[in-house]
């Protein structure tokens, strides 16, 4: 398949993954408020959640979304896939309104349009290019990524312990977003091996890192939803952190590229700021938890 064909196939798949992630997020958020709160990172939270049918369905949707994400990453660059997943927040807000039998107002539609406009502007200006995805095959490169992830998540967990309760969801959500963004990078690097031989994937360390980092990100996101009286700030932090981290992984470790030059860099930065502002505004309209 040529580059244009891969783009035409990969973009709709990534958007479908975003919709599935958004639906999964709604179910996870609602389920997280029905179980006892647990300290950050403790697996016992998942034991409570798995007893809820709604959470089990959220896992099914997350698996479908992940499979679609892998399919998209095999066709188009990580730097393109992850920003497209931001649209999952739009689905999250709209689907939650449907669950509550409420109709989204014009402001939500305007903010959704702003989010999509900023996203489209970034992708048009950046012109993401696919790399060889071999950067993580170097021991020292992989070690650098591992240390960076461990330090970043460690600092987030330390902040979550020391901050007041009302601020605790933010570092937990950022840690979850880091897990998701790096996991996407690892999956993207595996996509090249998948094209060569499906069985070769299991000989790569990235596959086992994904098996650990992915579920840990889910656990941290549930901790973030539980930690404070509002789920919306946590949702915004995850949604923003995930693609930003994925972009860094793509540029530094996977040899992917975006258009250079001062004007292009300023345009990309401005577009990302628009996306972030729209995400934050949308998240303010995401579910507020009643009863704290």
- The residue that leads in pLDDT, 265 or 288, is 265
Q: Distances in Å between the alpha carbon of 286 and those of 95, 224, 230, 279, 280?
A: 10, 15, 9, 10, 10
Q: What is the pLDDT of residue 292?
A: 35
- Residue 230, helix vs strand vs coil: strand
In a domain, 289, yes or no: no
In a domain, 140, yes or no: yes
Contact between 254 and 121 (Cβ < 8 Å): no
Q: What is the pLDDT of residues 3-47, one digit of tens each?
A: 677 777 888 999 999 899 888 888 887 787 788 777 666 778 888
Dihedral sign for Cα atoms in the order 282, 283, 289, 292: negative
Measure the CA–CA gap between 122 and 155, rounded to whole angstroms: 30
Asked if residue 262 has pLDDT above 60, the reply is yes
In a domain, 262, yes or no: yes
The mean predicted confidence, pLDDT, of the chain is 80
Measure the CA–CA gap between 88 and 22, rounded to whole angstroms: 4
In a domain, 292, yes or no: no
Q: What is the pLDDT of residues 36-94, one digit of tens each?
A: 777 666 778 888 888 889 889 988 998 999 889 888 888 888 888 888 887 887 787 77
Which segment, 127-131, 132-136, 213-217, is predicted with the most confidence on average? 213-217
In a domain, 290, yes or no: no
State which residues form the domain around 258.
Answer: 3-284
In a domain, 210, yes or no: yes
In a domain, 214, yes or no: yes
In a domain, 263, yes or no: yes
Q: What is the pLDDT of residues 134-168, one digit of tens each?
A: 667 788 888 999 999 999 999 999 988 887 777 77
- Residue 288, helix vs strand vs coil: strand
Asked if residue 289 has pLDDT above 50, the reply is no
Mean pLDDT of 255-281: 84
**Global pTM?**
0.78
Q: Residue 56 is encoded by which pair of tokens?
A: 């089990």
- The residue that leads in pLDDT, 112 or 258, is 258
For 153-157, 222-226, 231-235, which range has the lowest pLDDT when averaged over its residues?
A: 231-235
- The residue that leads in pLDDT, 240 or 64, is 64
Q: What is the dihedral of CA 214, 218, 224, 225, to 10 degrees?
A: 160
Q: What is the pLDDT of residue 148?
A: 95
Asked if residue 281 has pLDDT above 80, the reply is no
Measure the CA–CA gap between 112 and 122, rounded to whole angstroms: 16
If one counts the domains in the chain, the total is 1
Q: What is the pLDDT of residue 261?
A: 84
Asked if residue 286 has pLDDT above 70, the reply is no
């Amino acid at each position: 398949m040529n580059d244009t064909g891969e783009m035409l196939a990969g973009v709709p798949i990534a958007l479908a993954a975003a919709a599935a992630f958004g639906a999964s997020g709604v179910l996870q958020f609602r389920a997280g408020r029905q179980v006892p709160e647990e300290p950050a990172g403790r697996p016992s939270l998942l034991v409570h959640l798995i007893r809820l049918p709604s959470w089990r369905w959220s896992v099914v949707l997350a698996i479908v979304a992940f499979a679609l994400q892998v399919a998209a990453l095999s066709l188009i660059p990580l730097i393109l896939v992850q920003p497209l997943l931001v649209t999952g927040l739009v689905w999250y807000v709209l689907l939650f309104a449907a669950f509550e039998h409420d109709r989204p107002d014009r402001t939500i539609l305007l903010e959704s349009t702003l989010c999509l406009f900023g996203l489209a502007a970034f992708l048009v200006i950046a012109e993401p290019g696919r790399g060889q995805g071999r950067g993580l095959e170097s021991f020292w490169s992989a070690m650098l990524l591992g240390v960076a992830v461990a330090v970043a998540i460690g600092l987030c967990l330390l902040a979550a312990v020391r901050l007041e309760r009302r601020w605790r969801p933010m570092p937990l959500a950022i840690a979850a977003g880091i897990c998701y963004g790096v996991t996407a990078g690892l999956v993207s690097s595996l996509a090249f091996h998948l094209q060569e031989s499906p069985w070769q994937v299991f000989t790569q360390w990235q596959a086992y890192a994904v098996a650990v980092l992915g579920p840990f990100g889910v656990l941290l996101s549930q901790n973030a939803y539980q930690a404070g009286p509002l789920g919306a700030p946590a949702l915004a932090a995850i949604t923003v952190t995930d693609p930003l981290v994925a972009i860094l992984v793509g540029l530094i470790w996977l040899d992917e590229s975006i258009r250079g030059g001062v004007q292009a860099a300023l345009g990309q930065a401005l577009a990302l700021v628009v996306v972030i502002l729209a995400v934050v505004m949308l998240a303010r309209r995401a579910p507020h938890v009643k009863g704290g």
